[in-house]
Chain A
Amino acid sequence: MRGSTSGSGLERCWPLANRRAGRAGAVAADWPEAGRGGAEDAGSGPGAGRRVGRMRLRLRSGALAAGCLLAEALGVALFLRGFFPLPVRSLPRGEARAQPPAEPAPPGPGIASNWTKIPPPLFRKVVIVLIDALRDDFVFGSKGKQFMPYTTQVIEKGTSYSFIAEAKPPTVTMPRIKALMTGSIPGFIDVVVNLNSPALMSDNLIWQAKAAGKRIIFYGDDTWVKLFPKHFVEYDGTTSFFVSDFTEVDDNVTRHLDRVLKREDWDLLILHYLGLDHIGHMTGPNSPLVGPKLREMDNVLKKIHISLLSKEGEASLPSLLVVCGDHGMSETGSHGGSSEDEVHTPLLFISSAFEKRSGPLTQLELVQQTDLASTLAVGLGLPISRNNVGNIILPVVGSKTMREQLRFLHMNGFQLSTLLQENTPAYEKDLGYEQFKIAEKSHGNWIKLYLEGNNSEILLNLGKKVLKQYLEALRTLSSSLSKQVAQYDMYSMMVGTVIVMEVLLLLFLSVPKALSSRAEFEVPLSPPLFSLLFYLMCLMLCAVHVIVCTSAESLCYFCSMSWLTAVGVMMLISALMCGILSAVGKILENSRLPLKNPGASSSSWSEVDVLILAGTIGHVLSLGASSFIEEEHQTWYFLINTLCLALCQELCRNHFLLKECDLQLGTTMKQNFDSIGEASECKNIDVQAASNSKLGKAASSAEFVKGSDKWISLASPWIILICCRLLRSLNQTGVQWAHRPDFGHWLTRGITEARFVYVFVLGIVFTGTKDLLKSQVISADSSVKSTGLWEVYSGLVLLSALLFRPHNLPVLVFCLLIQTMMTKYIWRPLKFDAAQITIMHYWFGQAFFYFQGNSNGIATVDVSAGFVGLESYVEIPAIFLTAFATYAGPLLWAIHLLCYLSSEVSRNSAAVGHGCFCYALMRSIPVAIYIVLVTGLRYHLFIWSVFSPKLLYEGMHVFITAAICLFFTAMDQNHSQKVQG
């Protein structure tokens, strides 16, 4: 069949493509052929929605959108992989263990230092008490004074040093433990794998301690047990899975204490208390439960301290008690972000080796959380772990002699500069490295003086000077190393960006055609010009790839992929480019032809259109500012509110003008119809829709205006607005106003919770069955499909009811209510076209994403949804369930959109295709722009705390949208098949 038509097909196809389809009987002669082609596509299924003719490729707009989104998902994945490189820092721990550096050699011949071994430990026993979510003011502030009397007394009068340790975002437990124990800053991607923490492979304190034969005992959060398997001689892991458990989880740690403290067979004891974190998550930092918990912790500290002191007489070396928090908590009790409350934790060193504090506590010194690893390594007489970027906290070793102190600092500096050498090619130009070299030299001079037996004041002063030089060098080194954590794989990022931008451009260029009523494309597949261009471009890109990959110094993900994949990606890029070029060419060609109906281009814009356009652009632009990302929910609430008001105005105008026209029949009839036409704004691109359709519309509108429906219709935007206002205060999200009281908190207390669950589940079941029955009764004749769609929709609703937290069920109920009202009283009567409806659905979907309590921070992801109905953590279902629960709002609205559009098929046969295309476009615009923005802002201060989580959310949303669009296309294909059949 193809062969028979292909001869004339070429000549016939070009004009067909140029003309706006769907408005003429003039091209009717061409249609049967095209129609059969369409039927064939449909038969070949959604994935292969393209038909390869001799010289062209025909695509439905839905298939185009789905294909584009798949390509975009690939681009985003590449970009993400480049943006979040897995931190490859240093050699794995086992290999090539370098000897610890000797003391710098004094200049001049003859004398040499003989101190090459690791310095002996400073402390006999070390106890680390890590209290999860211990904020600095819980210890140093008024709460500490009130509830932790013993600790306060030790801080103020005892032998202790106290600091505020600053944690780097993401302030989540596992990366913080890694930071504390390795001294490095774990990459952002660690958050994503937070739940199934694999064993820590890089060099760390625990491993060093075990290798040195220290016996380690651990009680507390079982994240440690997973991170350091087989490292502890004795352990008891508690799980942070049951968030509402405030007491058991800590009693399980404390119950071992008495026994262990009596024993002598350990060197390092680590306790990780989770109760405070649980209290914070459930009730916030100001809850009455915090005080007793702090008092409990105080008693634990007292017990340990007294026991350590009582043992001290027997042994030569003192013991050390370290108290720290892994992260703080925000005013709502959550953590993960980078606000001061979440970042600042107390860090306490208590040991009899320290000098008694004389005066009252003045300004607390701010140190980095990573500093603990190197300090403890020195304290235990271990080599500093290789990836450490922290500095030794000098006061802790301050009681030692000058020679020892200098030795410690030299070891730390040597380790840091080695790490710098391994990570930066141009390390010699680094300021910190230069400073370290200078300090090392003067250290050598000092040793020379020392070995000569010079023991005077000069030696001390010189030593102090060297100390200062070392500290300066260490600070510079560690800050330049910390900056390097954000090493981006620019090549992969660029490739991803290019794909995403090309997809966006292609979608933009195909807007006029995709939204025409036929919603089909004819892409010329192999004109010689394009195939030549395609091959040339492939060749060129491959050449560039080879050059980049061979010359790149740093590791690059895209280069490490197999050649076949890389060539595939290159071909995709060139194919997209050719598609863009052909689309541009076609547009140019079209513009040369005289426009047959100028009405299409000069169709006037209603307020709703202006708002939709302005809102989309405004939202995309707002992504450049970190505050707007943190408060993105405000943007969406603002937009949907304005949308509702605009719809209300449209309804009012429709209603009142019609009333007027009822009154003044006759002469003004025509004029009024014009204004209605403008008002109700049927902006089909093919404005075949002449006056008769307007008349028909007016007539149908007049029908609906009758009766009480009119008033419900007028009131519906207001009801929707009120629903949205209620939902907004259900979950306060974001950063600035997150401390406002939520309705949600009222609902999560006691028995009301359970009752709400019953009521809402019953309501939802009722709505679901009603919808199902309705679809079966009303559209029994037409299709099983719409029933199926409603079934899918109801199923999703029920699933989200299962997964949502109980207090979020109102979101679901209001979602259903708003969807019903919108459909019945606003969209149907006002007869918006598919594109407008799609965009409104998209906006509401976004708003509901935030109504659910989501935000653009990692902390709000409700991972507990991933455990519903599972006995233990199973990766695939857990990820799927969590993703579904997080994106339930947008998903439900998208499926509702599909249901609605397929019920509108009778009015506009291409509605589903249009909807799919618009949905893809709406998703592509923010993603593409955001990727470019993030690339530009990659050295921004908030890149890890604000922009990166948002990037993950956007990426995830693209994958989900791609799935939705595939589903849309499948439905569209089925439909066209049915129509053809």
Chain B
Amino acid sequence: MKEAELRRLLAANLLCAGSIVLTALVPALFLDGFSVLGTHLTWLCICSVCVSVLNVTLCLILKPSPSSKRSSLSNKISRFLKCCIYFFMSCILFHAIIVLYGAPLIESVTETFLFAVLLSTFTTLQCLCLLGPNIQAWIRVFSRNGAMSIWENSLQITTTCSILGGWFGAFPIPLDWDRPWQVWPISCSLGATFGYMAGLIIAPLWIHWNRKQLTYKSR
């Protein structure tokens, strides 16, 4: 059971990572002059959309969280709306945090916001897919030893990795190398993306490595 689930997790994660690589390569065939660095904002949009679509699909197909209760349509719609609001709020929150970190307040609002959207896609969206709009569950997962399945473990790792990636991505900005990727927010978003991909790959491996120690309590 556990092995099979781990294999599913691995497949899903690899699919996500692969899709990000594709977003960097495929649009160049359709759009003139597309490149990750040159038309960064376009790439940010494409990447966010692709990752979110893929995540939602995977969530619907794999159903990692066994939602036991049969919910009515209206219930589902309200859940969906709640999810949307949460996502939007997390975008705003990330935007605020980025500005607090020193991003310009008025200039390049688009860049900052799209970066916030990307970060939300990598973190909040996954939480929403897996846990639903349930703050208590979120707090449980993100406090220590709170994960109850390998999916939640993977969620912890990828989220932490993407945020750390974005954090580390800010380091090269003050250097005076005058490289195209030092422009705001390219280094940060690339850092977050690489962090996310690294998280996706690390998570199954880490779980595999520590599978002896990991014992999940059932709810």
Interface residues of A (CB under 8 A from B): 625-628, 630-631, 634-635, 637-638, 641-642, 645, 652-653, 656-657, 675, 678-679, 721-722, 724-725, 728-729, 734, 736, 740
User: Are B102 and A728 in touch, CB under 8 angstroms?
Assistant: yes
CB-CB nearest 4 A-B residue pairs:
A631-B174, A627-B175, A627-B176, A721-B100
Question: Which residues does chain A contribute within 8 Å of B101, judged by CB atoms?
Answer: 637-638, 641
Identity of the chain B residue whose Cβ is nearest the Cβ of A720 in the assembled complex: B100
Shortest distance between the CB of A657 and any CB in chain B (Å) = 6
Q: A653-B143, A675-B143, A675-B145 are in contact. Are A627 and B174 (CB under 8 A)?
A: yes
In the assembled complex, 29 residue pairs joining A and B whose CB atoms fall closer than 8 Å, in A order, are: A625-B175, A627-B174, A627-B175, A627-B176, A628-B175, A630-B174, A631-B174, A637-B101, A638-B102, A638-B170, A641-B100, A642-B167, A652-B139, A653-B143, A656-B139, A657-B143, A675-B143, A675-B145, A678-B144, A679-B143, A679-B144, A721-B100, A724-B100, A725-B102, A728-B102, A729-B105, A736-B174, A736-B176, A740-B104
Shortest distance between the CB of A647 and any CB in chain B (Å) = 14
Measured CA separation A630–B101 after assembly (Å): 18
Q: B46 near A: Cβ within 8 Å?
A: no
Identity of the chain A residue whose Cβ is nearest the Cβ of B97 in the assembled complex: A645
If A634-B174, A678-B144 are given as contacts, then 16 extra A-B residue pairs at C-beta distance below 8 Å, sorted by A number, are A625-B175, A627-B175, A628-B175, A630-B174, A635-B174, A637-B102, A641-B100, A642-B167, A645-B97, A652-B139, A675-B144, A679-B143, A679-B144, A721-B100, A725-B100, A736-B174
Q: A675-B144, A675-B145 are in contact. Are A722 and B175 (CB under 8 A)?
A: no
User: Are B174 and A628 in touch, CB under 8 angstroms?
Assistant: yes
Measured CA separation A653–B146 after assembly (Å): 12
Fill in one digit per residue for B82-110: 1 if any A CB lies within 8 Å of its CB, else 0. Answer: 00000000000000010111101100000
Measured CA separation A734–B104 after assembly (Å): 16
Fill in one digit per residue for B144-181: 1 if any A CB lies within 8 Å of its CB, else 0. Answer: 11000000000000000000000100100111100000
Identity of the chain A residue whose Cβ is nearest the Cβ of B104 in the assembled complex: A740
Question: Which residues does chain B contribute within 8 Å of A725, judged by CB atoms?
Answer: 99-100, 102
Shortest distance between the CB of A609 and any CB in chain B (Å) = 14
Question: Which residues does chain B contribute within 8 Å of A653, judged by CB atoms?
Answer: 143
State the majority secondary structure of interface residues on B.
loop
Measured CA separation A675–B139 after assembly (Å): 13
Question: Which residues does chain B contribute within 8 Å of A638, judged by CB atoms?
Answer: 101-102, 170
* Tally of A-B Cβ pairs under 8 angstroms: 47
Find the residue from B143, B145, B174, B176 having the highest chain A CB count within 10 A. Answer: B174
Measured CA separation A630–B145 after assembly (Å): 42
Measured CA separation A80–B143 after assembly (Å): 49
Question: Which residues does chain A contribute within 8 Å of B144, judged by CB atoms?
Answer: 675, 678-679
Find the residue from A638, A642, A679 having the highest chain B CB count within 10 A. Answer: A638
Measured CA separation A656–B144 after assembly (Å): 13
Question: Which residues does chain A contribute within 8 Å of B174, judged by CB atoms?
Answer: 627-628, 630-631, 634-635, 734, 736
Measured CA separation A679–B142 after assembly (Å): 12
Question: Which residues does chain B contribute within 8 Å of A729, judged by CB atoms?
Answer: 105
Shortest distance between the CB of A699 and any CB in chain B (Å) = 20
Measured CA separation A626–B167 after assembly (Å): 21
Measured CA separation A740–B106 after assembly (Å): 12
Measured CA separation A630–B174 after assembly (Å): 9
User: Are A722 and B102 in touch, CB under 8 angstroms?
Assistant: no
Shortest distance between the CB of A533 and any CB in chain B (Å) = 44
Question: Which residues does chain B contribute within 8 Å of A656, judged by CB atoms?
Answer: 139, 143
Measured CA separation A628–B170 after assembly (Å): 12
Identity of the chain B residue whose Cβ is nearest the Cβ of A625 in the assembled complex: B175
Question: Which residues does chain B contribute within 8 Å of A625, judged by CB atoms?
Answer: 175
Identity of the chain B residue whose Cβ is nearest the Cβ of A642 in the assembled complex: B167
Measured CA separation A626–B177 after assembly (Å): 11
Fill in one digit per residue for B111-150: 1 if any A CB lies within 8 Å of its CB, else 0. Answer: 0000000000000000000000000000100011100000
Question: Which residues does chain A contribute within 8 Å of B100, judged by CB atoms?
Answer: 641, 721-722, 724-725
Measured CA separation A627–B175 after assembly (Å): 5
Question: Which residues does chain A contribute within 8 Å of B167, judged by CB atoms?
Answer: 642
Question: Which residues does chain B contribute within 8 Å of A740, judged by CB atoms?
Answer: 104
Measured CA separation A635–B176 after assembly (Å): 15
Measured CA separation A645–B167 after assembly (Å): 12
Measured CA separation A656–B176 after assembly (Å): 44
Measured CA separation A678–B167 after assembly (Å): 25
Shortest distance between the CB of A429 and any CB in chain B (Å) = 36
Shortest distance between the CB of A492 and any CB in chain B (Å) = 32
Question: Which residues does chain B contribute within 8 Å of A736, judged by CB atoms?
Answer: 174, 176
Measured CA separation A635–B171 after assembly (Å): 9
Identity of the chain B residue whose Cβ is nearest the Cβ of A734 in the assembled complex: B174
Measured CA separation A641–B167 after assembly (Å): 11
Identity of the chain B residue whose Cβ is nearest the Cβ of A728 in the assembled complex: B102
Identity of the chain B residue whose Cβ is nearest the Cβ of A649 in the assembled complex: B142
Identity of the chain A residue whose Cβ is nearest the Cβ of B105 in the assembled complex: A729
Measured CA separation A656–B173 after assembly (Å): 36
Identity of the chain A residue whose Cβ is nearest the Cβ of B146 in the assembled complex: A675
Identity of the chain B residue whose Cβ is nearest the Cβ of A622 in the assembled complex: B171
Shortest distance between the CB of A886 and any CB in chain B (Å) = 22
